[in-house]
């Protein structure tokens, strides 16, 4: 499942629970569905951001690995 599909699923579920909250008769049920809808909508918005953070972390780790390889070769007397 792609990030876009995951975000779309969260948005769909948020809309569904928002509708359930509007239809609920009991306050506790209304609050439950409204809170769940809000959390799902928030999660949908965070998915692309988390993907971007993950990519930056991966790039940083890759850079550290590459820099470590260069440093290692320099300390061993190999051309860097």
d(CA 21, CA 32): 8
Please tell me the total number of residues recorded for the chain in this structure. 80
Is position 55 within any domain?
yes
Helix (H, G, I), strand (E, B) or coil at 2: coil
Q: ∠ CA 71-72-78 to the nearest 5 degrees?
A: 95
Domain residues for the domain of 24 are 3-73
Burial environment of residue 39 by CB neighbours within 10 A (0 to 12, 13 to 18, 19 or more) = middle
Confidence of residue 70 (pLDDT cuts 50, 70, 90): low
Q: Kindly state the helix (H) or strand (E) to which residue 23 belongs, with its residue range.
A: helix 3-23
pLDDT at 18: 95
pLDDT in tens, 1-31: 888 899 999 999 999 999 999 999 999 999 9
If one counts the domains in the chain, the total is: 1
> What value does the mean pLDDT take over residues 57-66?
92
pLDDT in tens, 33-47: 999 999 999 999 999
Is position 37 within any domain?
yes
Is position 80 within any domain?
no
């Amino acid at each position: 499942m792609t990030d876009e599909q995951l975000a779309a699923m969260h948005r769909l579920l948020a809309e569904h629970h928002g509708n359930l909250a509007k239809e609920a008769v009991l306050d506790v049920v209304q609050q439950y569905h409204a809170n769940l809808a809000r959390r799902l909508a928030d999660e949908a918005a965070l998915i692309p951001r988390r993907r971007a953070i993950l990519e930056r972390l991966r790039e940083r780790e890759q850079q550290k690995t590459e820099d470590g390889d260069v440093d290692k070769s320099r300390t061993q007397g190999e051309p860097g």
